[in-house]
Amino acid sequence: MARYLITSAIPYINGIKHLGNLVGSQLPADLFARYQRGRGNEVLFLCATDEHGTPAELAAAKAGKPVAEYCAEMWEVQARIADGFGLSFDHFGRSSSEQNRKLTQHFAARLDDAGLIREVSEKQMYSHADGRFLPDRYIEGTCPNCGFDSARGDQCDNCTKQLDPVDLINPHSTISGSTDLEMRETKHLYLAQSQMKDELEQWIDTREGWPVLTTSIAKKWLNDGDGLQDRGITRDLDWGVPVMKGDAPWPGMEGKVFYVWFDAPIEYIACAQEWVDAGKGDDWARWWRTDKGADDVTYVQFMGKDNVPFHTLSFPVTILGSKEPWKLVDYIKSFNYLNYDGGQFSTSRGRGVFMDQALDILPADYWRWWLLSHAPESSDAEFTWDNFQATVNKDLADVLGNFVSRITKFCRSKFGEVVPEGGTQGEAEAALLAELTTRVRAYEGFMQAMEVRKSAQELRAIWAAGNEYLQAAAPWTTFKENPEQAAMQVRLGLNLIRLYAVLSAPFIPEASARMLSAMNTLDMEWPGDIDAALAALPAGHAFTVPDVLFAKITDDQREDWQARFAGVRT
């Protein structure tokens, strides 16, 4: 039994996330976690809300609530929606937890002991209109690298270049909109990433099979321009992890907090501690400490491409620089962007379909299937309502749903609601078995390699193979001349439903559970031998005819949704 530690990039607390956020991290992570559990492997799947920094403060101010109260409420909302989408986290934590506070301060002290933290007097943007220093994300302007006109003070979302506010062209405050800004003197702690460049590069070179997207971004940040730069890890904010050394304030850093991108990845570890403290697990260290058993863990991270620099550079610098035996990531699965109907999804600008709205329209499996089968792996992808309707209707309704409906209803009409006996398999069945064996093994390979779209394509082909067999075998015709032969065909078809339920569970867990329930079985054993899997439900086994698995999306529905979600969420 293999062991997999799986983390999804933790979503900001500032509101409900859109479908682009979902497919860029949480959903494919859930797919992989469900698959590994289905194969009998041990999995710890962690995620949390990212609650510190500018996004939380701005969102709380907009909501007219204290930031701690706002974060607590939004954690509840995000946890409920995640559950609605069937995200099977072993624990969904919070970066504002006491565990993360202590661990963040611990890492900072260790890095300081290693000579990797230095104090820097610098000039930071001050807004006269707001009467305060502006953290990076309170400042927007034009990116000097690509010309994107909504780049933030820490990073351009368009080209992913790491920035400082002073780099921006025509910067303005996101609080007041004021351009009356000036640079003022302040002091901050910097993580000396430049000292770790060689060690970091050597570590990256040992990672096997990383996606080109991941390695290209990491190498670009390591080697472009002046190379890996030291990075400020404190901010002039009220909300965050206090900058402490032991039990006392860090000298000269009174009133400051750690930068959100320093403490947020540390929450992955703290989340495991929360998991134990919540009574869900009994040993977090065996997942995170190589001196406690984590050396046999495969650690996989899932994230959008904008998060790659921090996970390939800054967080590994924190781990390596601590000189402690922490588990480092083995594989980073990164994704491009999912765009929305000719534009971009945007939480901050309220553009696109958001997760709560999606669940109000249709059950989660409709969205899970479309998003995963169109995952933006090799390039950016685009959500359109026309494509969504076509995919749901063809794949889910016409291929899978139609197969389940036809075979169960026919069996009920001719043999009753039990698996019929009689008949012997022939060449058609042997050909189906050979095709399914080949395709299931290919599906396993794609899933293990985290090739999401190829996995979906192979799964659909597995569904289609059953449909094609049923269409050619035509048990409704066979029954007229040879009822026993028709019984064999139907028996095979009913066992295909159970097989499809098992194979499809990582993609469409709710529909999978409904198929298993209809087949009156809890047997989720992964199909090693396809021949045996297709005999799992013996003659005489009772079943029920399920309700329609997937209703087709009508043109009227599509047109209505297209108009309702034209691009702006108020």
What is d(CA 385, CA 391) in angstroms, rounded to the nearest whole number?
10
Find out whether 159 is annotated in a ligand binding site.
Answer: yes
Find out whether 424 is annotated in a ligand binding site.
Answer: no
| Residue bearing tokens 């990076």 | 136
Say if CB 455 and CB 505 are below 8 A apart: no
DSSP string, 496-548: HHHHHHHHHTTT-HHHHHHHHHHTT-------SSHHHHTTSS-TT-B--PPPP
What is d(CA 171, CA 182) in angstroms, rounded to the nearest whole number?
10
Say if CB 243 and CB 249 are below 8 A apart: yes
What is d(CA 316, CA 183) in angstroms, rounded to the nearest whole number?
31
Report the DSSP pairing between strands 331-335 and 248-249.
unpaired
What is d(CA 486, CA 477) in angstroms, rounded to the nearest whole number?
8
Report the DSSP pairing between strands 91-94 and 297-304.
unpaired
Q: Give the number of other CB atoms < 10 A from CB of residue 35.
A: 23
86 phi/psi in degrees, rounded to 5: 75, 25
Q: Give the number of other CB atoms < 10 A from CB of residue 474.
A: 11
What is d(CA 33, CA 207) in angstroms, rounded to the nearest whole number?
21
Report the sign of the C-alpha dihedral through residues 513, 519, 520, 525, in that order. Answer: negative
Length of the chain in residues, anyone?
A: 570
Helix then strand count (H, E) for the chain reads 22, 19
Find out whether 143 is annotated in a ligand binding site.
Answer: yes
Please list the alpha-helical segments (H only) found in 13-66. Answer: 19-21, 27-38, 54-63
Say if CB 46 and CB 93 are below 8 A apart: yes
What is d(CA 321, CA 262) in angstroms, rounded to the nearest whole number?
13
Angle at 136 between CA 6 and CA 307, to 5 degrees: 20
Residues annotated within the binding site for Zn(2+) are 143, 146, 156, 159
Going by the annotation, the residues of the binding site are 143, 146, 156, 159, 347
Binding residues for ATP: 347
